Chains A and B, each alone.
Chain A
Amino acid sequence: MSSLYLLIPLGLLFCAIAAAFLVYASHSQQFKDLDAAARSVLDDNE
């Protein structure tokens, strides 16, 4: 059970990293238009 003293802080660290990636993805406009990629398949001028 003593391993939990290490695993819980590690879990918090991974959580923070995941949240940071999410913030980065959001700031780089990756969630701006979620339908654009799907629509581009139907676009014949590409």
Chain B
Amino acid sequence: MNAAPPLGEHSVLLKVDGMHCVNCVRKLERTLAAAGATADINLVGGTAELRWRDAQRRVQQFVELIAEAGFTAQPLQQVEADQPTDTPEPAGSASLLRIGIAGILGMQVMMLAATAYFVAPGDIPLPLQQLIRQAQWWLATPVLLYAGWPFLAGAWTALHMRTLTMDVTVSAALLLAYLASAVATMGGSGQVYFDSVTMFVFLLLLARHFEERGRAAATRRLHELAAAQPRDAQREQADGRLATVPIAQLASGEVVVVPPGIAVPADGELLDSAAECDEALLTGESRPVMHCAGDSLCAGAINVGRAPLRLRLTRVGADSTLSQLTRLVHRAQSQRPRTLRLADRIAGQVLAAVLLLSVAGAALWWQAGPDHALAVALAVLAVTCPCALSLATPTALAAAASGLARRGILVVDADALLRLARVDRVCLDKTGTLTDGRMSIVELVRCSSVEASEALALGAALERGVHHPLALAFAPYDDGRPVSDVRVLPGRGPQGRVGNACLQLASSEGEGELSWLTLSRDGEALARFGLAQNLRPDAASAVALLKQQGLQPSLLSGDSAAAVSPLAARLGIRRWHARQSPADKLERLRELHAAGHRVWMVGDGLNDAPVLAGADVSTSLASASALSQARADLLLLNDRLDGLGLLLRQARRCRAVVVQNLLWAALYNLIAVPLALAGLVTPWVASLGMGISSLVVVANALRLALPPVQGPRSDLEETLA
């Protein structure tokens, strides 16, 4: 389903903790590049996909290098094996303890500091004033050294690696304020900023805590997929008894029993006559799905019937559909969309500008009022928030992908969502996309006195055991009557004996979109059958919805004009092209691109792979060929075309949220920094503003994590569309 790494290249997907901003990402990239590995790092998902060529290198070496850079890493498969059924807890006990300590001690510091705000300087006796300052100092010290340790440690490793991260500016502000206050306390004169230190640590820890919870919520679907596979399975032994074994010990061909309420451990073929399964996690289908004997069941589907079901395994472990989907999602989340790189660059430049501004601000205030110089420098360092800028796009993309996954749509390339929001043309494949690839008999013309049901039963007897779509259309009419001497004549269809008569079913010429077969007995025509491809039940509504959303649909098909034209008319598609080879389809795509259109291709077959790869955005169905799926940016796991409308709507919502977030981040910094430079913002209020700014961005993006529904577009979406 996904592309394997090139020959001689090794790869591993790591779960990385401790990344907070784009500069952390950059630091990690540089560390790994120095060790000869390229990395796709996902800040939101907290993952890094490493690729390297040196066969001597081991994963553990990279894990140790990452640890030296100040982060913790573990191979993702190991993480899943350790915690197979739990959604990871975003904030551990240590993080909450740091917040609690900063909160309790910080509150006390604020109470003591309030005396300086509300009482005139001369009203407090000097010894008492000194006691208040020293009490603040004692309280602020554990806040800085214990609760604020993650910032100090992050800054130290960043400087050690010669990079600039958010932790550097935060630590600079904290240490500057703390040391200046300590000197003032020891000297018995000058301003103290212990309240700013404690509030900054507390608010920043709180903001990061909620930010991490938001990021975890945005990627929760991924962990649900990973956790869907049970750890053990009940394997049927040769003597018929059941043995509980770890799923790693299962092999293809073995029979397992899945009790009610338990998930299927690996892909397999149902041996029971019927079973009811909940496949919501895999396909987004909220209702249980009925299966009959011989149907394929995917790992992760939950047996919601009353009885245990028996299954013969066909694909186990890493080969199962669930494992492939999970890997695909992990890979998708590790790839760094192009749109993020621009935001990253801007955030990095903002960080450098902040340091310069704080120094410039302090220098200017040193001339005008030296008492305020330090406060201004601290406020500028604290108030600026490049975090909001670097979180604006990735959080929105992750949340949008999570929301789509709940509707059975898998986002393989996150960048595709932003591209999809701007498309104006959609090209649809016919066979397997708008139709379900099967055929049915829609017309019967009697040429003799034989009854229609008799003619259908005779045709079904001749086509028994043949798997061609035309032959399968007769299967529902098979009454099991005996047939002998069946032969399939090339280009002429099946021939055989029923009773004493020699029967033949051969293709014949006909008008319109139908394929015609003629049944003859001893050379005399008995009946003619008109067969048509089954249009998917939601094809017409899906096309109508896309048109309603402003897209112009085109139909590209390898079939004849006689087959394509009526179908296009039924669906209301004005532009259609018949007899299209893969090269022709690519040519149509080039024409649309040349005319300035942005094109969305929806296809499923092997022949669609080139055009899927060439389109601005591509979508494939879960029933499509593996090659088409590998080329597609987005996958409809439930094979339902109404997902196309939802996809487009979610993509436009996503783009609107990204624009809102970037505008908010830019506006906040443009207003907050001049205010801080003017000395109108105290350092602790500045730290409050910074925390709130990050949270606004994350909270706005999390709206996209809800499953999308069809509805009217907002004004902003209209404008952006």
Identify which of residues 97-145 in chain B touch chain A, using a CB-to-CB cut-off of 8 Å: 97, 100-101, 104-105, 108, 111-112, 124-125, 128, 131-132, 135, 138-139, 142
Task: Mark A8-32 against chain B: 1 for CB-CB distance below 8 A, else 0.
Answer: 1101100100110011001001011
Taking a contact as CB atoms under 8 Å apart, the answer to whether B104 and A5 are in contact is: no
- Does A4 make an interface contact (CB < 8 A)? yes
Chain B residues, Cβ within 8 Å of A38: none
The smallest C-beta distance from B147 to any residue of chain A, in angstroms, reads 10
On whether the beta carbons of A31 and B108 are closer than 8 Å, the reply is no
Are A4 and B139 in touch, CB under 8 angstroms? no
A31 & B125 in contact (Cβ 8 Å cutoff):
no
Does A33 interact with chain B (Cβ within 8 Å)? yes
The answer to the question of A37 belonging to the interface, with a C-beta cut-off of 8 Å to chain B, is no
Give the CA-CA distance A19 to B139 in the complex, in Å.
11
B104, A19: Cβ atoms under 8 Å? yes
State how many angstroms separate the Cβ of B331 from the closest Cβ of chain A: 29
By a CB distance below 8 angstroms, the chain A residues around B94 are: 26
| Residue contact B100 to A32, C-beta cutoff 8 Å | no
Q: State in angstroms the CA–CA spacing of A15 and B97 once bound together.
A: 14
In the complex, A22 Cα to B104 Cα: how many Å?
10
Proximity bits, B131-163, A CB within 8 Å = 1, else 0: 110010011001000000000000000000000
What DSSP secondary structure best describes chain B's contact surface?
A: helix
A41: Cβ under 8 A from any B Cβ = no
Residues of B within 8 A of A18 (CB): 104
Q: Let me know if A8 and B131 touch, CB within 8 A.
A: yes
Q: B96 near A: Cβ within 8 Å?
A: yes
Q: Select from chain B the residue with minimum beta-carbon distance to A28.
A: B93
Q: B523-540, CB under 8 A of A: which get 1 and which 0?
A: 000000000000000000
- Roughly how many angstroms separate A11 CA and B114 CA in the complex, as a whole number? 15
B82 interfacial contact with A, CB 8 Å: no
Please state if A4 and B128 are interface contacts (CB–CB under 8 Å).
yes
Q: Is B89 an interface residue (CB 8 A)?
A: yes
Main secondary structure of the interface of A (DSSP, over half): helix
- Which residues from chain A contact B138 at a C-beta distance below 8 Å? 12
Give the distance to chain A from B304, nearest Cβ to Cβ, in Å: 15
A42 lies within 8 A of chain B by Cβ: no
Question: A41–B482 Cα gap in the complex (Å)?
Answer: 61
CA A23 – CA B94 in complex, angstroms? 9
Nearest opposing residue in chain A for B135, CB measure: A8
Give the interface centre of B100, B112, B124 by most chain A CB atoms within 10 Å: B100
Chain A residue numbers with a CB within 8 Å of B125 are 1
In the complex, A33→B138 CA distance in Å?
A: 32
Contact indicator per residue, chain B 80-99, by CB within 8 Å of chain A (1) or not (0): 00000000010011101100
CB atoms of A32 and B135 under 8 A apart: no
Chain A residue at minimum C-beta to C-beta distance from B105: A15
Q: B135, A31: Cβ atoms under 8 Å? A: no
**Distance A29 CA – B128 CA, assembled complex (angstroms):** 41
Cross-chain contact B96 with A31 (CB below 8 angstroms): yes
Whether B135 contacts A12 by the Cβ 8 Å rule is: yes
Q: Is the CB of B97 within 8 A of A12?
A: no
Bound CA–CA A32/B100 (angstroms)? 14
Q: In the complex, how many angstroms separate the beta carbon of A6 from the nearest chain B beta carbon?
A: 11
**Among B89, B108, B128, contact of A15 (Cβ-Cβ < 8 Å):** B108
Quote the shortest CB–CB distance from B224 to chain A (angstroms). Answer: 14
* A8-B135, A26-B96, A31-B97 as given contacts; A1 in contact with B128, CB under 8 Å: yes
Q: Are A22 and B101 in contact (CB under 8 A)?
A: yes
**Structural contact, A32 and B101, CB atoms closer than 8 A:** no
Q: Is there an interface contact between B100 and A22, defined as CB atoms closer than 8 Å?
A: yes
Contact A26 B97 (CB under 8 A): yes
Residues of A within 8 A of B105 (CB): 15, 19
Taking CB atoms, residues of chain B closer than 8 Å to A23 are 97, 101
Tell me the smallest distance from the CB of A36 to a CB of chain B, in Å: 10
Chain A residues, CB < 8 A from B100: 19, 22, 26
B93–A32 touching, CB < 8 Å: yes
| Nearest CB of A to B489, in Å | 63
Are A29 and B101 touching (Cβ within 8 A)?
no
Shortest distance in angstroms between B89's beta carbon and chain A's nearest beta carbon?
7
Can you pick out 20 interface pairs between chain A and chain B where the beta carbons lie within 8 Å of each other? Answer: A4-B128, A8-B112, A8-B131, A11-B108, A11-B111, A11-B112, A11-B135, A12-B138, A12-B139, A15-B104, A15-B139, A19-B100, A22-B97, A22-B100, A22-B101, A22-B104, A23-B101, A31-B96, A32-B93, A34-B89
Which residues of B pack against A, CB within 8 Å? 89, 92-94, 96-97, 100-101, 104-105, 108, 111-112, 124-125, 128, 131-132, 135, 138-139, 142
Q: A15-B104, A15-B108, A29-B93 are in contact. List 14 more A-B contacts (CB 8 A).
A: A1-B124, A8-B112, A8-B131, A8-B132, A19-B100, A19-B105, A22-B97, A22-B100, A23-B101, A26-B96, A26-B97, A31-B92, A33-B89, A34-B89
Closest 10 CB pairs of A and B: A26-B97, A31-B93, A22-B100, A31-B96, A15-B108, A26-B93, A18-B104, A8-B135, A19-B104, A19-B101
